[in-house]
Structure 1
Amino acid sequence: MHIVFVCREYVPTLRGGGIASYIKETAVNLVKRGHTVTVCCASDDTREETEYSDQGVRVIRLSGGDFVIPGIEHASIIKKFRCLYRFFSYRRKILKTIETLHNVDIVEVPEFGAEAFYLTRLKIPVVIRLHTPTLLDRNNAGIKKLSIRNFYDYWVGWQELRILPKFQYVTSCSLSLKRWFETCVPKLKSNIEVIYNSIEIDSWRSEKDREYSEGSILYVGTVAEGKGVGDLIEACRILRSQNMSVTLHIAGKMGAYANSLKKEVDGNGEIWCTFLGNQTRGCLKDWYAQSKVVCFPSWWENMPLVCLEAMLAGNIVIGSSNGGMAEIIENGKDGYLVPPHNPEKLAEYLRRALEENEASVAQKRANAYKKIKENFSTDVILDSLETYYLNVIEKNAASQDIMG
């Protein structure tokens, strides 16, 4: 098959997140299986357009993106409106780029960013991959309300939901996310297929004896309020008030909220809490190895790859009971699930995990490895993905024949 992935971000990028990691690993491994893969993504510098090969994947970085990255381009008030005045032109460029490619069998595009806006015009099948929509409210697992502060995001998020019912083929990275869409987007007529994100086991599994510090806690991900980072810091404060010597390292993309948290922590002289900023995959492996517990206390989460990474790396993982992490972690067996918005309860689980002996940690590590190998490994997931793609291509061809 010739498979095209469309995405707003592709490694390496300063805008990278879970979608970038998913597409990178999926694309490279599909090439290893003999498929032709093209990735159409945005260039960090919206003035530049480049094309190159990445481990056999053809990468086309498009110019004209609807964003600006300070430090790469000069920021201005006008450029802040790019999500509006470049929205349509950039998505037309995506369509035109795909139309120039030869022998494309199928296209996959995230719902995030509504980059499929014009792709209903293609005759080849388009699969919408659900990751996390802009309008998902992590506070109540509903739809965010419009306000002056979120006008730009709300407008783009509304486009994401508005175009979804136009597409016949939709996959979701978690059952929780599928249920959210079925509840919040009632016009969505497609049967949503759940195909979990995969992980390359050998890339993350640690066979070496770990030399972590007993009180070490790590957070990995975007440093945002809805990710529960503030709750995690507060939980660590509770533990330290109980004379438990804990350290917290926070690795991930920083923004206004993260900077305000850091300013508060620095102002309090809380040297036990360190903000690391964005980390390369190689550096993350080192941080996993140095930490006993990795915590993801999001108010709601879909299917974070970092959760699987940490479990494979041998950490005790504490995740939110809201959303897709409850589909990964079995409470007490291969990690812990904690209710969100509850620093006191989170502190209890952190203490429990930090006080576990080596035998208990080793058992959780073995249980986590078995589960991931059977349910989330690259071979298992790509078998399902290939089968799904082939079925979609066959159905699309049949419908084209009927239409003449």
Structure 2
Amino acid sequence: MKIAFLTPEYPHPEVKHAAGLGTSIKNLAEALVAQGVQVTVLVYGQSRDVVFEEKGIVFHLIADKKYRFGKWFFYRKYLQNYTNKVIQKEGIDLIEAPDWTGITAFMRFKVPLVIRFHGSDTYFCHLEQRHQKWKNRWFETIAVRRAQAYIAPTKYAGEVSAKLFGLSEQQVKTIHYGLDLTQFQNEKPEYFEKGLILYIGTIIRKKGVLELPSIFNLVRKQCPEARLVLVGSDSADIQSGSASTWELVEQQCNEEDRAYVTYLGKIPYNEVQEYMKKANVCVFPTYAETLGMVTIESMAMQKPVVNSSLGWAQELMEDGKSGFLVHPSHHEEYAHRIITLLKEEALCREMGVAANTFVTQRFDIQKIVKENIRFYKTIL
């Protein structure tokens, strides 16, 4: 079996950008290779064209192109032609692409296309209840409806996406993202920095970061030595027009709290893991997600997590056992859960062990990869 992935991102030094979407593809691609599947990854929108092989995966970095007009159409046709040449040359059996931006709209491939619902603009606009540009909806709808099969990382994301794009729920297969658990080892979970609250993710409104100043203020009233550390890329805020969401977070922080809040920006992933190990509690008060890779990564590292309680999150943990689920806008309850964990070390250890067990049972890439292979075979 030969599988290709068309993607805008991938965690590799040669690639311009990587986030949760790229990480999930990397985990799956490497696991597929270990199972004897041949994998090709085509990353578009890059600074240059280059082809290389690494870890048994053939990479095609495809340069971005400039057009006097109609780039939305002509670049897609360029990608289609490039991809079809690769399909023919390498004997690809099936190609997978994300729903985001409807990149495969207007493309026709020589093999079946699988769309994985990593999170479309349509999906996120629906969750955030904000206006969507008509062309974005148009591109994504065309792309989705031309695919032959669909995968979603959570049942919730699949059900919502199916409804938005006019599919039946039965057409969408739920296959969770997988983790290579050998990369998430915390040999000494009993050692952590007491009071350290960690947020990992893009600094953007939809991730609930603007709820953190109020929540943190309530936490410090009972745990004055608590510290909040945020890790991730800053982004512009659509609602306010601000060029920096981090600046909005900073402005909303109480003056006394500000000295206990640290923003590290985007840092190398090995450093992110070190902060996970240091954390007393990890928090993810997000409003819009399909699964949340960093949430299950933190759980795999035996960290107690206070997560959003919305749809998809209920598939990631058992409330009160392997984590806490709280609506991001319920500041007092959210703060109460954090305070409980900061004050009860035994509960932290107990919840961390349960979180690790939950992830091992449901998100182990060694199990997940076999689910993907079985599904691919039904298409072929």
Which TM-score applies when normalising by structure 2?
A: 0.90
Distance verdict in 2 for CA 1:62–1:346, change over 3 Å: same
Deviation at 1:155, TM superposition (A): 2.6
What does residue 89 of structure 1 align with? 74
Which segments of 5 or more consecutive residues in structure 2 lack a partner in the other structure?
A: 238-244
Deviation at 1:265, TM superposition (A): 6.3
Deviation at 1:44, TM superposition (A): 3.9
Q: Residue 333 of structure 1 aligns to a residue in which SS?
A: coil
Deviation at 1:181, TM superposition (A): 1.6
Q: Residue 121 of structure 2 aligns to a residue in which SS?
A: coil
What does residue 25 of structure 1 align with? 27
Deviation at 1:345, TM superposition (A): 1.9
Deviation at 1:19, TM superposition (A): 0.6
Deviation at 1:245, TM superposition (A): 2.0
Distance verdict in 2 for CA 1:209–1:122, change over 3 Å: closer
Q: Which amino acid aligns with 2:58?
A: R
**Does structure 1 residue 7 correspond to structure 2 residue 7?**
yes
Q: Distance in 1 between matches of 2:270 and 2:181?
A: 15
Q: Which amino acid aligns with 2:7?
A: C
**Does structure 1 residue 367 correspond to structure 2 residue 354?**
yes
Q: CA RMSD in A?
A: 2.3
**Does structure 1 residue 145 correspond to structure 2 residue 128?**
no
Distance verdict in 2 for CA 1:161–1:43, change over 3 Å: closer
Q: Residue 136 of structure 1 aligns to a residue in which SS?
A: helix
Q: Within 5 Å, which residues of 2 pair with 1:70-89? A: 85-89=70-74
1:285-306 CA distance string (max 9 Å, x none)? 1000111100110013211111
Q: Distance in 2 between matches of 1:250 and 1:230?
A: 12
Deviation at 1:323, TM superposition (A): 2.6
Deviation at 1:137, TM superposition (A): 4.3
Kindly indicate whether the alpha-carbon contact (under 8 Å) linking 2:95 and 2:113 is maintained by their aligned counterparts in 1.
yes
Which segments of 5 or more consecutive residues in structure 1 lack a partner in the other structure?
A: 67-78, 394-404
1:309-367 CA distance string (max 9 Å, x none)? 10011111111111322101101111100012222221111111212223x22322222
Q: Distance in 1 between matches of 2:55 and 2:124?
A: 37
1:11-56 CA distance string (max 9 Å, x none)? 13443211110111111121122111111112442xx211222212
What does residue 105 of structure 1 align with? 93
Distance verdict in 2 for CA 1:242–1:355, change over 3 Å: closer
Kindly indicate whether the alpha-carbon contact (under 8 Å) linking 2:324 and 2:337 is maintained by their aligned counterparts in 1.
yes
What does residue 241 of structure 2 align with? none
Equivalent residue in structure 1 for 2:225, among 245, 255, 278: 245
Equivalent residue in structure 2 for 1:380, among 347, 361, 367: 367
Equivalent residue in structure 1 for 2:158, among 144, 155, 178: 178
Q: Residue 332 of structure 2 aligns to a residue in which SS?
A: helix
Deviation at 1:65, TM superposition (A): 5.4
Q: Residue 135 of structure 1 aligns to a residue in which SS?
A: helix
Distance verdict in 2 for CA 1:376–1:357, change over 3 Å: same
Q: Residue 161 of structure 1 aligns to a residue in which SS?
A: helix
Kindly indicate whether the alpha-carbon contact (under 8 Å) linking 2:128 and 2:287 is maintained by their aligned counterparts in 1.
no
Q: Residue 118 of structure 1 aligns to a residue in which SS?
A: coil
Deviation at 1:244, TM superposition (A): 2.9
Kindly indicate whether the alpha-carbon contact (under 8 Å) linking 1:52 and 1:60 is maintained by their aligned counterparts in 2.
yes
Q: Residue 113 of structure 1 aligns to a residue in which SS?
A: helix
Q: Distance in 2 between matches of 1:107 and 1:391?
A: 14
What does residue 314 of structure 1 align with? 302
1:65-95 CA distance string (max 9 Å, x none)? 58xxxxxxxxxxxx9xx9x842222211221
Deviation at 1:189, TM superposition (A): 8.2
Q: Distance in 2 between matches of 1:105 and 1:252?
A: 36
Q: Distance in 1 between matches of 2:254 and 2:334?
A: 24
Which TM-score applies when normalising by structure 1?
A: 0.85
Q: Distance in 1 between matches of 2:318 and 2:98?
A: 28
What does residue 148 of structure 2 align with? 168
Kindly indicate whether the alpha-carbon contact (under 8 Å) linking 2:159 and 2:169 is maintained by their aligned counterparts in 1.
no
Q: Within 5 Å, which residues of 2 pair with 1:97-136? A: 97-101=82-86, 102-119=90-107, 121-136=108-123
Number of residues of Structure 1 aligned to a counterpart in Structure 2: 367
Q: Distance in 2 between matches of 1:188 and 1:155?
A: 23
Deviation at 1:144, TM superposition (A): 3.4
What does residue 74 of structure 1 align with? none
Kindly indicate whether the alpha-carbon contact (under 8 Å) linking 1:176 and 1:323 is maintained by their aligned counterparts in 2.
yes
- The worse-fitting range, judged by mean Cα deviation, of 304-313 and 175-184 is 175-184
Deviation at 1:127, TM superposition (A): 0.4
Deviation at 1:135, TM superposition (A): 2.5
Q: Which amino acid aligns with 1:64?
A: D
Q: Point out which structure has higher relative CO (alpha carbons under 8 A, 6+ apart).
A: 2
Q: Within 5 Å, which residues of 2 pair with 1:218-297? A: 218-242=198-222, 244-257=224-237, 258-261=245-248, 263-264=250-251, 268=255, 270-297=258-285
